[in-house]
Amino acid sequence: MKNIYNYILNLFFPKKCINCQREGSYLCEDCLSLIELNQINYCACIKNPLKNKLVCDNCPKLISAVFTIFNEKQYICQKLFLKSKTIPDLNAYFSYLIITHLKNITNINLDNNFAICFENEDVESIAKNLSKFTKIPIKNNSKNILFITKKYPSDDIFKIIKTLNAKKIYIISLFR
Ligand SMILES: [Zn+2]
Ligand SMILES: [Zn+2]
């Protein structure tokens, strides 16, 4: 029934690319290929983070790494984030891009010792989609945590992660 509904909906209100308005999907292949994943990783330090390092001796102790997915100067990523508030289908792109970035930059194995946490409602639907996509549950207690935030660092992140009883916390920051 839902398929028929979607079919009819698509007939009258076809999906259009949020960037170039081409019909067929909410983000067309060409525009998706314009998205560049962040190349330079910085450690978790708040002041003077080190380039191309996951952690250094001065990093906040609770954090094992901060993975930044996009460069915030990329207009198309900001647009994708903004539009995902009203078009939930777009959240799947974040899951895809987050997983692709993690595979590029690290060899951590996202097994069943992991759980997903998120900072606030701003990234809630992205976190929930990532959980569906990876089969990693959303919960507060696990050995390893993937912590989703829009932008690292923030006071709230530190407040929340102090309450998590985790061995390793990997921050996934969409922007930085
Ligand atoms: Zn497009
Ligand atoms: Zn550091």
Instruction: Say which CATH number the domain at 160 has.
Output: 3.40.50
- Does residue 113 sit in the same domain as residue 161? yes
Residues 43 and 129 in one domain: yes
CA 7 to centroid of ligand 2, rounded, Å:
50
Task: Determine the distance separating the centroid of ligand 1 and the alpha carbon of 22, expressed in angstroms.
Answer: 6
Q: How far is the CA of 9 from the centre of ligand 1 (A)?
A: 20
The CA 155 to ligand 2 mean position distance, Å, reads 17
Name the residue type at position 31. Answer: C
pLDDT the model gives residue 4: 80
As residues whose CB is below 5 A from the ion ligand 1, the structure lists 17, 19-20, 22, 28, 31
In the reported structure, the alpha carbon of residue 44 is separated from the centroid of ligand 2 by a whole-number distance in angstroms of 5
Distance 48 CA to ligand 1 centre (A): 37
pTM of this prediction? 0.91
Looking at residue 103, its pLDDT comes to 92
Nearest ligand to the CA of 15 is: 1
Residue 24: how many other CB atoms lie within 10 Å: 11
CA 124 to ligand 1 center in whole angstroms: 25
Q: Are residues 11 and 58 located together in one domain of the fold? A: no
DSSP E strands, 71-151: 114-118, 144-151
> Do 97 and 107 reside in the same domain of the chain?
yes
Residues 28 and 102 in one domain: no
With vertex at residue 15, the alpha carbon angle to CA 14 and CA 20, rounded to the nearest 5 degrees, is 115
For 22, 46, 57, the CA distances from 119, given in Å and listed in that order, are 34, 17, 25
pLDDT of the chain, 176 residues: tens digit per residue:
667 877 777 777 789 999 999 999 999 999 999 999 998 889 999 999 999 998 999 999 999 999 999 998 999 999 999 999 999 999 999 999 999 999 998 888 888 899 999 999 999 999 999 999 999 999 988 999 999 999 999 999 999 999 998 999 999 999 99
- What's the number of domains the chain is made of? 2
What ligand is nearest to the CA atom of residue 53? 2
Per-residue pLDDT at 112? 87
Do residues 42 and 84 both lie within one domain? yes
Give the per-residue pLDDT at 153.
96
Q: Are residues 48 and 114 in the same domain?
A: yes
C-alpha 153 to ligand 2 mean position (Å): 12
